[in-house]
Amino acid sequence: MDLNPVILAIPVYFTLMGAELIYEAFSGRQTYRLNDAVTNINLGALDQLTGTFTYVVKVGIYTLVYEHARLVTLDPTWLTFAALFVLWDLCYYWSHRMAHEISLFWGGHVVHHQSEDFNLSTALRQSSTAFIWSMPFYLPLAVLGFSPVQFLFVGGINLLYQFWIHTEHIGRLGPLERVMNTPSHHRVHHGRDPKYIDRNYAGVFIVWDRLFGTFQEEEERPHYGITRPLESWNPVYANVAHYLDLFREVRCARSMRDAARMLFGRPGWRPDYLGGYDAPRPVPEEYAKYDAHPASSAMTVYVGVQFFMAMGIVAFYLFGFSTFPMVVKVALAAWIMTTTVAFGVFFESQRRGIWLLEVLRLVSIAAAAWWLQGGGWLAAPFGTGVSAAAAASLIWFLAVIARRS
């Protein structure tokens, strides 16, 4: 089993999201939309999925620096843990800040800001490419002598802390607001209003923002999202959208200097001949959140059930991937990625062409269960149950289609 604290906390994440939904049912204040929440969680699943393949690279780079460039060797004690916890958060602040201030790096972080809602599911909306740009900011910790095991553990704890601050249901927390990052501070960070953009970068300690001049108090309720709304529920596209737009514009640059500034300057910077800097603008009062082709109530229920079934398969992969051979890892990863895209397609289109994709997805579940069971990677009762669920889903899906035809 993977000892990544983030993976181990998955049941806690879903429990707390369930509690938030129950609270909303009684309070009448709704912050969830099914299409948005499913996309958020799908992006978190893709992040953890790609992490199982890039883990060796991320840990390998840090370990290489630790083994060949560390100044001292720091034994794991409560004191070194406390020091690392603070220093890790400082590194996170600068990594996070540069991800907002450098357009190329923004491509690895923009995913987390694309949601136009703000709830606990938003915390799970993570990029699969952010590690590329963030990793160098943590290498000083290796030089200082913090071991890879310490580094990974503290990083996981830092990320776990940041989960609970993604909510609109917790107000100001008194004196705690002076030192710690809180939901109020983080709502500001997710705001797309000009006064809120590029503020409150902290992970755990808001003192970094106060110290380095990037702090902003929450005043009016923020408008969430990004200045160029994604307008898609496709999680794979969400991961590459900024890169596609950026490189499309860079190809039009008339000089290497302009191209470099578009890549490494502030997001939205363009030379005058390409329209100039695209500065953030106030959100118009008539603005409506993206919600393409709302599905029928029957289709909404169907997708919701299929989503939870898919999350079971994701959990099976994440908790067992270290024991799987590469062929099983790749096959399961391909199915998970295809499934997340399929859900996005359902939310964006009601055309009959998508039906074939769903039929193939359900058939592949039964085939995969039979294959995994035959290879000894899935116990017989579970394999039979998964196959039966896929067959029942296929009948249900075709019945939904028949009613809509």
pLDDT at residue 405, rounded to an integer: 46
pLDDT at residue 153, rounded to an integer: 92
pLDDT at residue 3, rounded to an integer: 54
Alpha-carbon Rg for the chain, nearest whole angstrom, is 22
pLDDT at residue 158, rounded to an integer: 95
At residue 205, the 3 state secondary structure works out as strand
What is the distance between the alpha carbons of residues 31 and 277, in angstroms, rounded to a whole number? 33
**DSSP per residue, 360-398:** HHHHHHHHHHHHHHHTTSS-HHHHHHHHHHHHHHHHHHH
Which of the residues in the chain have pLDDT under 50?
1-2, 405
What is the distance between the alpha carbons of residues 114 and 40, in angstroms, rounded to a whole number? 9
pLDDT at residue 228, rounded to an integer: 93
pLDDT at residue 1, rounded to an integer: 44
pLDDT at residue 403, rounded to an integer: 60
The number of CA neighbours under 13 Å toward the Cβ of 281 is 8
pLDDT at residue 217, rounded to an integer: 97
What is the distance between the alpha carbons of residues 301 and 312, in angstroms, rounded to a whole number? 17
Structure tokens at 122: 């938003």
pLDDT at residue 10, rounded to an integer: 83
pLDDT at residue 390, rounded to an integer: 87
Domain boundaries, the chain: 5-212, 297-404
Alpha carbon of 245 to those of 220, 252, 267: distances in Å? Answer: 31, 11, 11
What is the distance between the alpha carbons of residues 95 and 183, in angstroms, rounded to a whole number? 20
